[in-house]
Structure 1
Amino acid sequence: MTTATARVRTAAAAAGLVGALALTACSGGGSEDDSSPSSGATPTSTSSGGAVTGASDKLQGSWITTSKGSIVALVITGKQAGLFATGGTVCSGAAGTESGMQMIHLSCTDGSKDRVTGMVETVDKGAMKVTWSGKLGQETYTRAEGGKLPSGLPTAPLKQ
């Protein structure tokens, strides 16, 4: 397979993933206020025994990265988080402030432990760095606006 073909396949897979995320994010059926954090948010219990309150406005939205030949999308709405990766990994959980830090806690349907607990190191309007516990370490995500792929997304060969 040529490099151009690999890039087209990567872009097509990412576009499909972002489209699926957009549909998932819109299927809540709640009011528009559901996605914005409130100062009186009820804490969500985490597997580590702590409590997560609503995520900051900077964390809200769709984020995408590539890792080990897979496209990974992380969506944060209010204090809810979802992660989807090519290859079938689907995770859900909570994101928000915990003990003064921005944290993400996920549980994956395939039993994956790669992205169970993540600490947001930095976040701005275009990028977010998350350090995951365990061997995966730090990943840098790029914000995906309006269901579109971010510019400059790195390409990697797809797993065959």
Structure 2
Amino acid sequence: MTSATARVRSAALAAGVAGALALTGCSGGDSKDGSSSSPSATTAPTSSTGTPGVTGASAELQGSWITTAGGKIVALVIDGKKAGVFATGGTVCSGTAGTEAGMRMIHLTCTDGSKDRVTGMVDSVDDKAMKVTWSGKLGQETYTRAEGGKLPSGLPTQLKQ
């Protein structure tokens, strides 16, 4: 395995782990009595119109999904109604995923203020791939399911540094 491949895999796995920790509300700094001294990383999105009426995401959306965009690995993690996006380079977004007016929607807020993946509509999903159309300039992205902490096959082995 080349060092570039190893870096790509390490970055993707780190993003997935960070995503899982953020979505489950795990954080460091637990005190002796088991209470946490730091806030959870999950934050509901805020908007001037309030939080949309999102219900639980369907079972087929659940899990870790990976894509590449702009030379970066992007991990989309959905756990229950919680959703998060984690990209190499430091982008971290969290929010909700669920059914809204009969459509499967994802609503996120990014810590760096990015607006690339704020509102997404799931166009299609099966056991291997999910297509999400994001509002704004990104448009449609196709994600591949990552099973058991392993990267899906077919990812590029070299990304822009």
Q: State the TM-score, normalizing by the size of structure 1.
A: 0.78
Q: Which residue of 1 aligns with 2:84?
A: 82
Q: Which residue of 1 aligns with 2:32?
A: none
Q: Which residue of 2 aligns with 1:39?
A: none
Q: Specify which of 57, 61, 64 is matched with residue 62 of structure 1.
A: 64
Q: Is the 8 A contact 1:45 1:52 kept in 2?
A: no
Q: Which residue of 2 aligns with 1:144?
A: 146
RMSD of aligned C-alpha atoms?
Answer: 2.2
Q: Which residue of 2 aligns with 1:21?
A: 19
Q: Which residue of 2 aligns with 1:72?
A: 74
Alpha-carbon shift at residue 45 of structure 1 (Å): 8.2
Q: Which residue of 1 aligns with 2:6?
A: 8
Alpha-carbon shift at residue 80 of structure 1 (Å): 0.9
Q: Which residue of 2 aligns with 1:126?
A: 128
Alpha-carbon shift at residue 13 of structure 1 (Å): 1.4
Q: Once the two structures are aligned, what percentage of the paired residues are identical?
A: 69
Distance 2:22 2:109 in 1: 17
Q: Is residue 114 from structure 1 mapped to residue 116 from structure 2 by the alignment? A: yes
Distance 2:75 2:45 in 1: 23
Change in CA separation of 1:10 and 1:101 when aligned onto 2, cut-off 3 Å: same
Give the match's secondary structure for 2:14: helix
Distance 1:27 1:150 in 2: 26
Give the match's secondary structure for 2:152: coil
Structure 2: 5+ residue stretches without partners: 28-43
Q: Which AA in structure 2 matches 1:99?
A: A
Alpha-carbon shift at residue 73 of structure 1 (Å): 0.6
Alpha-carbon shift at residue 147 of structure 1 (Å): 1.4
Alpha-carbon shift at residue 24 of structure 1 (Å): 3.9
Alpha-carbon shift at residue 132 of structure 1 (Å): 0.3
Q: Is the 8 A contact 2:55 2:81 kept in 1?
A: yes
Q: Is the 8 A contact 1:22 1:147 kept in 2?
A: no
Distance 1:83 1:27 in 2: 15
Q: Deviations over 1:100-141 (max 9, x none)?
A: 100000000100000000000000011000000001111111
Q: Is the 8 A contact 2:45 2:95 kept in 1?
A: no
Q: Which residue of 2 aligns with 1:36?
A: none
Q: Which AA in structure 2 matches 1:84?
A: F
Q: Which AA in structure 1 matches 2:143?
A: Y
Alpha-carbon shift at residue 148 of structure 1 (Å): 1.4
Change in CA separation of 1:104 and 1:129 when aligned onto 2, cut-off 3 Å: same
